[in-house]
Amino acid sequence: MINFSEIPHWVSDFFDKGLLQGSIVTFTAFVIGYFVSWIKRNGYFVRKIFNYYLFIERFLTRKRIILIWNDHDDKLSDYIGETLKKRTLGFKYKTMKSPDIILKYPLSPKIIHMIILIVSDVTKLSEKESRRDKIQDALLKYVIEGGTLFGTHDLIYRRCRNEKLQAAYGCEITNFKRFSQPIKVVINEAHKTHPLVKDLPQKFEVDDGELCWGHWGNDSEKLIKTESKVCNNHNKACNYIPILVIKELSHKGNLIWLNSADKRDRIADSLTRPQSAIIQIFVNAIEYADERK
């Protein structure tokens, strides 16, 4: 039987004065700090472990990943993912809090089925040019290897400074015009059988607040355009404005651009409602990418 009177006073003080609790906190902080420091020093190995995890997850679940980012609100990406999940099978939707997250994923088309970047308000992929270039390089490498990049609105706008994506898409957006009413659009007769316009009405409206445009190269297919010509703000150079464009890259991957998702006071109803035709375009893109694989 223990005789507590014989316990040294420093032991009782250790417990009575809370020194044990402080020691535990200090030790825990040390372990956490060491672990964080190890991760920073061994980022390459951490990414490799994460990549292996995704490969195993892909093998076990048979589901490829669709990454979604928008510059408005993470909840919008969650909402779009949940909406698309009801219409597509075999895919796992993941919301990215920033474009930087792209660099943490193994950008293999066998794992990442599609990347959706919704840029509504002149938001750069990164404020740092070097980081922005690194993200663009990763995206284009992914597409060249057979992936699909689906961008909207300001992704290739000149002020977003995504020069490499602009060159790949074959267009730099330089003009825009506000609209107070939904925009009437029509499927281009030359591309009416393209898989991206499947199950869309020949004519419909895009409930957006703005159109933007630039000069597109001849190797880009303009699948949907405005029903009427649109003039710039000086009422000159009136043209039909492309709404949905696709370009094949390296005979494997696809670059898709949707002229929608503008944000003024709030992001466009075409996405927040969301509009059935816009969701159908996303669904068609997912299925088309699946067919090509």
In the chain (293 residues long), the average pLDDT of successive 10-residue segments reads: 53 52 63 60 50 52 87 93 93 95 91 95 95 97 97 96 97 92 95 97 92 93 96 81 95 94 82 91 95 73
Q: Is residue 2 part of a domain?
A: no
What single letter denotes the amino acid at residue 165?
Answer: L
Question: So what's the pLDDT on residue 46?
Answer: 46
Q: Is 135 found in the same domain as 20?
A: no
Q: Is 178 found in the same domain as 145?
A: yes
Q: Is residue 255 part of a domain?
A: yes
Nearest to 188 by CA among 179, 176, 177, 196: 196
Q: Is residue 204 part of a domain?
A: yes
Structure tokens at 186: 């029509």
Q: Is 105 found in the same domain as 223?
A: yes
Spatial contact of 242 and 185, defined as CB atoms under 8 Å apart: no
- pLDDT digits 0-9 by tens, 115-130: 999 999 999 999 999 9
Q: What is the CA radius of gyration of the chain?
A: 25
- pLDDT digits 0-9 by tens, 247-290: 999 888 999 999 998 887 778 888 888 899 999 999 999 999 98
Question: So what's the pLDDT on residue 261?
Answer: 86
Q: Is 115 found in the same domain as 33?
A: no
Q: Is residue 177 part of a domain?
A: yes
Q: Is 200 found in the same domain as 93?
A: yes
Structural domain including 21 reads: 8-41
User: What's this model's pTM, rounded to 2 decimal places?
Assistant: 0.81
Spatial contact of 182 and 203, defined as CB atoms under 8 Å apart: no
Backbone phi, then psi, for 59, in 5-degree steps? -65, -40
Question: So what's the pLDDT on residue 37?
Answer: 62
Structure tokens at 135: 């993200």
Between CA 79 and CA 219 the distance in angstroms is 33
Task: Residue 275: give its domain's CATH number.
Answer: 3.40.50.880
Q: Is 256 found in the same domain as 141?
A: yes
Number of domains in the chain: 2
As a whole-number percent, the residues of the chain with pLDDT over 70 amount to 78
Between CA 209 and CA 264 the distance in angstroms is 8
Q: Is 35 found in the same domain as 174?
A: no
Question: So what's the pLDDT on residue 168?
Answer: 97
DSSP string covering 80-136: HHHHHHTT--SEEEEE-SSGGGGGGS---TTTEEEEEEEE-SS--S-SSHHHHHHHH
